Chains A and B, each alone.
Chain A
């Protein structure tokens, strides 16, 4: 066993030494490929997160009758909260709302009758829940009117659809070429050595035995490039989030690290099995 290991070690050394430029360049390219791979993965993840937030932002306004007591308002609030798909409810006191409005318009509110009503802003998950909630809330005693701002709903819908298209586009346009690039590099390292592999086959060496050092080099190269590429990416991500204001809406570096880590573990675990099918020699 030790003899075989030492033979393989010699083979690996010879292969790397004789093709040092090729291995260095392909390793560097692989690192860059993983860097872009992670950028696209995290872009997709951030858009997905954004979509999730948008999906919870379908809003309706519930206006109460003027004669509704504080107790009833609390009961109504509880009733609404118990409905399906309600994400958030906030009560807006008419006096407070009037003061804010006056302040915004720069008017004094003294001596003016408050025309506003006590109200709730209700946020639901998805448009379907929004419409269902409207029908139910309309029937509740003490509720004067339930209003859905159709323009904002349409805008929200469009934004979510646009994001979904972007996710699919990113997956196709970025991930696929990167995948092909990574696998071509791995495949190329064997194809470039086809002459030697074939010669060894003609001399009676077993195919498995011949390919073992290539599998080993490929797997090590793949795993280390994946780790280095991802670490570079996470550092860049953290740096950009910290330096550029307005990027706080992006997932935190820890979250990004977890996503990247999980995907990497999956890829790294599956690569040795994939590489057996990937590396096909003529015979």
Chain B
């Protein structure tokens, strides 16, 4: 599902240096990291906001280096929950959650709203659908962030520190939910250094260190 082949990035002292990673379809992977820069670089590469100096990135069998520009086809297959939320400040809760659908599908406004409301209901945010982001607590923002990452029903779900701002019981129920998604065939990658999460589920575990990935 997600394959990094000999990836070296463009910096003078590359953040990622000859990195290899192969995550097969339907796996649930946990990635520990020593440096935020290295972790963010991987996310940038997956989002096609950066290109490597050398090596290949293959997502769902498609080699990113063969695309001249950012491919929406690939983006549609990935859902990312960002550590810093990356929510749109000028939009309300409902508009935020349906944004990936707006970008990657051609659903009518009515269907967009229906899908958005459904997802908000699942994450306990329906009553706040017309709220501005400034009225949400950090925990609610994180829930919205997670909800948005899976609204497209993507094959690959990447969660960057999904436990941030969540209480322990919420983290547990999130992990159970992710496990269900994984059982339904989704590939899930969690970037975290949180020990509690590590003990919750039986992950395939890797460590990102000194620009390379090693198996644990």
Chain A residues engaging chain B, CB cutoff 8 angstroms? 7, 14-15, 18-19, 193, 195-196, 198-206, 283
Contact = CB atoms under 8 A, between A and B. Distances in A.
B49 A205 contact: no
A14 B90 contact: yes
For the complex of A and B, 5 pairs with smallest distance between CB atoms = A204-B75, A199-B86, A18-B90, A196-B88, A14-B90
Task: Name the prevailing secondary structure of the A interface residues.
Answer: helix
B64 interface: no
Nearest to A196: B88
A206 B86 contact: no
Contact of A203 (B90, B95, B103): B103
Looking at B72, B90, B91, which has the most chain A CB atoms within 10 Å of its CB? B90
B89 A18 contact: yes
A205 B103 contact: yes
Contacts of A14: 90-91, 95
Interface string B87-100: 11111000100011
Given A7-B102, A14-B95, 14 more contacts: A14-B91, A193-B90, A198-B86, A199-B87, A199-B88, A200-B99, A201-B47, A202-B82, A204-B70, A204-B72, A204-B76, A204-B100, A204-B104, A283-B50
B103 A204 contact: yes
B146 interface: no
Interface of B: 47, 49-50, 70, 72, 75-76, 80, 82, 86-91, 95, 99-100, 102-104
11 contacts: A14-B91, A15-B90, A198-B86, A200-B103, A201-B47, A201-B49, A202-B47, A203-B99, A204-B75, A283-B49, A283-B50
A194 B155 CA distance: 29
A95 B205 CA distance: 115
A7 B76 CA distance: 20
A202 B70 contact: no
Nearest to B46: A202
Nearest to A11: B90
B103 A196 contact: no
A269 B73 CA distance: 37
A206 B70 contact: yes
Contacts of A198: 86
A205 B76 CA distance: 11
Contacts of A196: 88-90
Contacts of B87: 199
A270 B44 CA distance: 35
A206 B68 CA distance: 13
A193 B87 CA distance: 12
A85 B88 CA distance: 69
A15 B50 CA distance: 27
Contact of A19 (B49, B82, B86, B90): B90
A200 B86 CA distance: 8
Contacts of B95: 14
A200 B113 CA distance: 19
B70 A203 contact: no
A92 to B, nearest CB: 77
Looking at A201, A204, A206, which has the most chain B CB atoms within 10 Å of its CB? A204
A202 B103 contact: no
Nearest to B69: A206
